């Protein structure tokens, strides 16, 4: 039978739309000879839930999902309605996806056992980060970490399955609900960013192999904390200012981290006299962003060591965090070691 090769190029008529997240995940799966597609499925589940949450956020002012939910979480923080919506959406998607056995969430006191005897993975998630910005239409995000369980599938979930060091993450990432919705993730081979094309319901590769500048002109800290923090940090910040650095603070960790990743900068949430371990949670905020930071050539420290080397002791523990451009983080560590 006579056949003809497929002619790709149709000029501007059908411009290329780019690589979808799904195709990208599939293409990268080949990097892992023993890959079984389970991790890929979890990434798809997270992408699906983030599309739904992005829709809920974008129409929040028109539907009854703004304001307080009227309950507090284990950290004594007032839960926002959208916190709860996002928590349900991600947990449901991970349950339906069938590859996860347990979820650690900022909105849940204890580990959620998904009663999934074949689930090999544990997910730690901050369903909606930047709560103080939810109702004021400022960028917020989702942060996730993926670990392989340590104990045999089907056996009861043990502490060792959940309280794993950040260096044991098999994948991590975040979703930024900003002027556009973006998903950035890594499976340990660099980090890639995808932008959500709402009209097609697809994430498309927009930021391949992201790189963070080794130095930057931005420092990001809640200046209101300065009376209560280590004076060495203040002199470090003075040094940054003298080098011409500018202050930028959105108050949403994901948004502040993402900007500094693209432009170069450092985010600092130190220990304070009131909060000796700072504010940021290790398991579902710091570890994932530290994983991404290192994958894009940046660094993340608690002031003395890599965030990824911290051995977790409890689900909701906090850690001081200094994350961003490599040379700025090492400069901070030097300032703190004086
Ligand atoms: P949650 O909103 O998930 O609790 O996260 C913590 C957070 O909102 C970060 O996103 C942000 O960087 C920081 O706290 C802001 O803290 P503060 O209001 O003390 O500056």
Same domain, 27 and 164: yes
Would you say the CB of residue 294 lies under 6 angstroms from ligand 1?
no
Would you say the CB of residue 127 lies under 6 angstroms from ligand 1?
no
Residue found under tokens 């996730």: 144
The residue nearest atom 13 of ligand 1, judged by CA position, is 251
Same domain, 331 and 267: yes
Same domain, 197 and 280: no
- pLDDT for res 67: 87
User: What is the rounded CA–CA span in Å between residue 307 and residue 310?
Assistant: 6
Would you say the CB of residue 80 lies under 6 angstroms from ligand 1?
no
pLDDT, tens digit (0-9, with 9 covering 90-100), for 263-308: 999 999 999 999 999 999 999 999 999 999 999 999 999 999 999 9
- Identify the weakest region by mean pLDDT among 56-65, 184-193, 195-204: 56-65
CA–centroid distance for 113 within its chain: 22
Neighbour count for residue 258 (Cβ, 10 Å): 24
- pLDDT for res 325: 98
- pLDDT for res 269: 98
Would you say the CB of residue 141 lies under 6 angstroms from ligand 1?
no
Mutation to probe ligand 1, out of 75, 129, 133, 316 (largest number of atoms < 8 A from CB): 129
pLDDT, tens digit (0-9, with 9 covering 90-100), for 94-127: 999 999 999 999 999 999 999 999 999 999 999 9
Would you say the CB of residue 302 lies under 6 angstroms from ligand 1?
no
Task: Taking each helix axis as running N to C, give the angle between helix 81-97 and helix 38-58, from 0 to 180 degrees, rounded to the nearest 10.
Answer: 150
CB of 190 closer than 8 Å to CB of 209:
yes
Asked if the model's pLDDT at residue 33 lies above 70, the reply is no
Asked if the model's pLDDT at residue 55 lies above 80, the reply is yes
Same domain, 191 and 286: no
Give the sheet arrangement for strand 321-324, strand by strand.
246-247, 218-220, 266-269, 321-324, 299-301
Mutation to probe ligand 1, out of 73, 78, 131, 176 (largest number of atoms < 8 A from CB): 131
Share of the chain above pLDDT 70, in %: 96
Same domain, 106 and 199: yes
Would you say the CB of residue 126 lies under 6 angstroms from ligand 1?
yes
Same domain, 48 and 159: yes
Of 85, 86, 90, 87, the closest CA to residue 100 belongs to: 90
Question: Of the residues 207, 230, 245, which one is the last residue of a structural domain?
Answer: 207
Residues annotated within a binding site for Mg(2+): 106, 126, 128-129, 285
Tokens in use for 175? 């979703």
Residues annotated within a binding site: 106, 126, 128-132, 222, 249, 267-269, 279, 285
CATH number at 160 reads 3.30.540.10
pLDDT, the chain, mean: 94
Domain with 54, as residue range(s), is 21-207
Question: Of the residues 150, 174, 207, which one is the last residue of a structural domain?
Answer: 207
User: What is the rounded CA–CA span in Å between residue 22 and residue 228?
Assistant: 46
User: What is the rounded CA–CA span in Å between residue 142 and residue 93?
Assistant: 14
Distances (CA, A) of 70 to 76, 141, 280: 12, 21, 23
Q: Which helix (H) or strand (E) holds 71?
A: strand 68-72
Would you say the CB of residue 318 lies under 6 angstroms from ligand 1?
no
Would you say the CB of residue 319 lies under 6 angstroms from ligand 1?
no
Question: Of the residues 148, 177, 207, which one is the last residue of a structural domain?
Answer: 207
Distances (CA, A) of 331 to 51, 204, 232: 38, 36, 11
Q: What does the pLDDT average to over 72-82?
A: 83
Same domain, 124 and 143: yes
- 30 — pLDDT class (breaks 50, 70, 90): low
Which atom of ligand 1 is closest in space to residue 250's alpha carbon? 12
Same domain, 102 and 189: yes
Cα 253 to middle of ligand 1, angstroms: 6
Mutation to probe ligand 1, out of 53, 90, 132 (largest number of atoms < 8 A from CB): 132
- pLDDT for res 292: 98
What lies within 8 Å, CB to CB, of 49 at 6+ separation is 86, 89, 90, 92, 93, 94
Same domain, 293 and 270: yes
Look up the pTM and report it.
Answer: 0.96
Q: φ and ψ at 41, to 5 degrees?
A: -65, -40
Q: What does the pLDDT average to over 161-180?
A: 97
């Amino acid at each position: 039978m006579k056949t003809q090769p497929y002619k790709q190029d149709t000029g501007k008529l059908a411009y290329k739309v780019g690589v979808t997240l799904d195709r990208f995940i599939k293409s990268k799966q080949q990097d892992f000879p023993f890959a079984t597609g389970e991790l890929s499925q979890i990434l798809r589940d997270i992408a699906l839930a983030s599309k739904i949450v992005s829709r809920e956020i974008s129409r929040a002012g028109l539907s009854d999902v703004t304001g307080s939910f009227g309950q507090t979480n284990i950290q004594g923080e007032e839960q926002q309605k959208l916190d709860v919506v996002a928590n349900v959406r991600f947990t449901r998607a991970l349950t339906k996806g069938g590859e996860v056995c347990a979820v650690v969430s900022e909105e849940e006191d204890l580990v959620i056992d998904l009663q999934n005897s074949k689930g090999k993975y544990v997910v730690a998630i901050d369903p909606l980060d930047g709560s103080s910005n939810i109702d004021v239409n400022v960028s917020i995000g989702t942060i996730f970490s993926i670990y392989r369980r340590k104990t045999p599938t089907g056996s009861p979930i043990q502490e060792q399955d959940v309280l794993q060091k950040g260096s044991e993450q098999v994948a991590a990432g975040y979703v930024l609900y900003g002027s556009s919705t973006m998903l950035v993730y890594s499976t340990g081979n660099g980090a890639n960013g995808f932008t959500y094309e709402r009209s097609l319901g697809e994430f498309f590769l927009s930021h391949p192999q992201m790189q963070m500048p080794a130095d930057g002109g931005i420092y990001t800290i809640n200046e209101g904390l300065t009376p209560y923090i280590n004076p060495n940090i203040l002199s470090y910040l003075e040094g940054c200012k003298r080098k011409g650095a500018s202050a930028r603070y959105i108050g949403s960790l994901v948004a502040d981290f993402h900007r500094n990743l693209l432009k170069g900068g450092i985010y600092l949430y130190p220990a304070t006299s009131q909060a000796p371990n700072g504010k940021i949670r290790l398991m579902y905020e710091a570890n994932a962003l530290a994983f991404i930071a290192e994958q894009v050539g940046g660094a993340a420290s608690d002031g003395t060591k890599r965030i990824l080397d911290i051995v977790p002791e409890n689900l909701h523990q906090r850690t001081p965090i200094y994350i961003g451009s490599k040379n700025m983080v090492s400069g901070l560590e030097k300032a703190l070691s004086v």
